[in-house]
Amino acid sequence: MNTLQLQWTMPDIREEIPEIARQTWELGLTRRRMIQAVHEARLEPLDDETWDHMENTHSNDLGLTWHEIKRWEGKDWRGIVRAIREGGTLPAPMVVIHEGRPYCMAGNTRLSVSRMLGVRPEVLMVRV
């Protein structure tokens, strides 16, 4: 597998507004605080401890199978596999750390496919 050419890019924040709004509400944060944290966030490799303890994701479920991923409606898992195997770009998943607890804000499918293929993703790490 050629993952050397895989490049994680900054996600398009405008496309992720519904997920950001949902996570803001679920964590009881103000919109202003979350937006500021998103704008201050940086891309970084996802470490094992954060990944293993992350909530709101299937990617740390040791029982997850390809069969399950393939049944996720409206998710472009094939495009993610292609970008990882053949080289390409993927928008980084978004992870929010709040009160020491990590949550997947956006990118569950990208995280899950990465885990299944043994690839360490870069994520936009939002600390709020």
pLDDT band at 4 (very low <50, low <70, confident <90, very high): low
14-65 pLDDT, tens digit per residue, is 999 999 999 999 999 999 999 999 999 999 999 999 999 999 999 999 899 9
Q: Is residue 28 part of a domain?
A: yes
Section 90-119 average pLDDT: 97
Domain assignment present for 55: yes
Residue 1 lies in a domain: no
Q: Report pLDDT for 5.
A: 86
Separation CA 115–CA 108 (nearest Å)? 10
CATH of the domain at 110: 3.90.1530
Give the chain's mean pLDDT.
94
Q: What is the C-alpha separation between 70 and 117, in angstroms, rounded?
A: 14
Domain that holds residue 49: 6-127
Does residue 88 form part of some domain? yes
Q: What is the mean pLDDT of residues 81-99?
A: 96
- Please tell me the total count of domains within the chain: 1
